[in-house]
Chains A and B, each alone.
Chain A
């Protein structure tokens, strides 16, 4: 099994675990999806497969009822091809789940977060906390049962499509920590690190904040001077 997996990883050329994002190395926190997430993936897989099975059975019903006379065999061939494809994909998609579960890396440094996922299409996403707009924790009924949740981080910019659909073009403004069992901890960590960036995250320069801090310090110093002068007169 291990050997097979190694072959698959090398054929798919799945890149090695990602490098940590910029930021101090001590602050780096790594997360992984929790084991129940694997159960969750399996449950979803089973549901999908069940749907496929129902579709096949309905197809059988059609093939039996539609009167085509001498051409009836065409339908039967199409139907049996469907069955073969269905059985063939069962093993592959089930094996893919395990890889999909393991080939996920979530990293949070003091400046940025990085998420790597995917086996056929790999995707490595990097967001700096200065740019993060909002933070969401999502949990469906099945996920609640398993004690896991998704943490979703959004940066500025719109998108016609939501990222909730698994298929189609993904919304690149969203990053998701899927299936973690310490969602509250991750949320707190991101909020805390995000707090150090006080601007709106829409392209303000970094030094602007610095200049504002300096202005405040100047006013403070001037006030201190006035106080000292007053004390002198007294």
Chain B
């Protein structure tokens, strides 16, 4: 984890599968289920085996499930806030959950990214893609406007220079 904290460069787009430690975490935390252990473990095994992440330029998609499949997509710019949570067991394994929220009507997280060792780097990456965190360079549309603005200013300047000249001439004549 120290390496991640030091800001080791991680290529986010290459992340696809959760780390094997997630399976370890599932096994150990399933022990809490008591008698329901076989069922819980089976469900989690399917989840672990089918869990896929995809990070592209626009957003994240995450899918899992064999019988009941689920896929969640969200765009970076719609992210409201990002949480990083972990319990003792997860920290022992070097894992943490990234909980991502959008502005939908839900107190819980819309997407929980789990089982990644690079959680901190990923969090920072997602955060930098979120709205309001960085100044965007002027977009193409506004550069046209920018030019128009400078042209207008130039014309105004010319006009007032013209006025100045006229005034000067009038003064000479009188």
Binding site for B on A (CB under 8 A): 12-16, 19, 21-23, 111-112, 118, 120-131, 155-161, 169-173, 175, 197, 201-207, 210-211, 214-215, 217-218, 221-222, 224-225, 228-229, 231-232
Instruction: Give the number of chain B interface residues (Cβ < 8 Å).
Output: 54
Interface flags for B135-174 (1: CB within 8 Å of A; 0: not) read 1101101100110110011011001101100100000000
Taken together as a complex, chains A and B put the C-alpha atoms of A228 and B162 apart, in Å, by 9
- Judge whether A225 and B149 touch: CB under 8 Å: no
- Judge whether B136 and A232 touch: CB under 8 Å: no
Pairs across A and B, CB under 8 Å, 9 listed? A12-B88, A22-B133, A125-B82, A158-B105, A158-B107, A159-B107, A172-B99, A218-B148, A228-B160
Chain A positions within 8 Å of B153 at CB level: 221, 224
Q: 5 tightest A-B contacts by CB? A: A130-B132, A159-B107, A228-B159, A158-B105, A156-B103
- Judge whether A229 and B159 touch: CB under 8 Å: yes
- Judge whether B139 and A172 touch: CB under 8 Å: no
- Judge whether A124 and B84 touch: CB under 8 Å: yes
- Judge whether A124 and B83 touch: CB under 8 Å: yes
- Judge whether B148 and A203 touch: CB under 8 Å: no
- Judge whether A210 and B107 touch: CB under 8 Å: no
Chain B positions within 8 Å of A112 at CB level: 127, 132-133
A79 to chain B, nearest CB (A): 25
Give the residue among A12, A123, A155, A214 with the most B Cβ atoms within 10 A: A214
Taken together as a complex, chains A and B put the C-alpha atoms of A118 and B52 apart, in Å, by 30
User: Nearest B residue to A13 by beta-carbon distance?
Assistant: B91
- Judge whether B87 and A120 touch: CB under 8 Å: yes
Chain B positions within 8 Å of A15 at CB level: 1, 86, 91
- Knowing A157-B101, A221-B152, say if A232 contacts B142 (CB, 8 Å): no
- Judge whether B149 and A131 touch: CB under 8 Å: no
Taken together as a complex, chains A and B put the C-alpha atoms of A165 and B153 apart, in Å, by 59
- Judge whether B141 and A211 touch: CB under 8 Å: yes
Given contacts A157-B101, A157-B102, A218-B152, 12 further A-B contacts (CB under 8 A): A13-B92, A19-B5, A112-B127, A120-B87, A123-B83, A123-B85, A124-B83, A124-B85, A157-B105, A157-B106, A215-B145, A225-B156
Taken together as a complex, chains A and B put the C-alpha atoms of A63 and B61 apart, in Å, by 57
Chain A positions within 8 Å of B120 at CB level: 19
B154 to chain A, nearest CB (A): 10
Chain A positions within 8 Å of B130 at CB level: 128
- Judge whether B104 and A214 touch: CB under 8 Å: no
Asked if B109 lies at the interface with its beta carbon under 8 angstroms from chain A, I say yes
Taken together as a complex, chains A and B put the C-alpha atoms of A118 and B97 apart, in Å, by 14
CB < 8 Å: which of A13, A127, A157 contacts B103? A157
- Knowing A124-B83, A221-B152, A225-B159, say if A203 contacts B78 (CB, 8 Å): yes
A216 to chain B, nearest CB (A): 11
Chain A positions within 8 Å of B20 at CB level: none
- Judge whether A128 and B92 touch: CB under 8 Å: no
Asked if B128 lies at the interface with its beta carbon under 8 angstroms from chain A, I say yes
Taken together as a complex, chains A and B put the C-alpha atoms of A126 and B141 apart, in Å, by 32
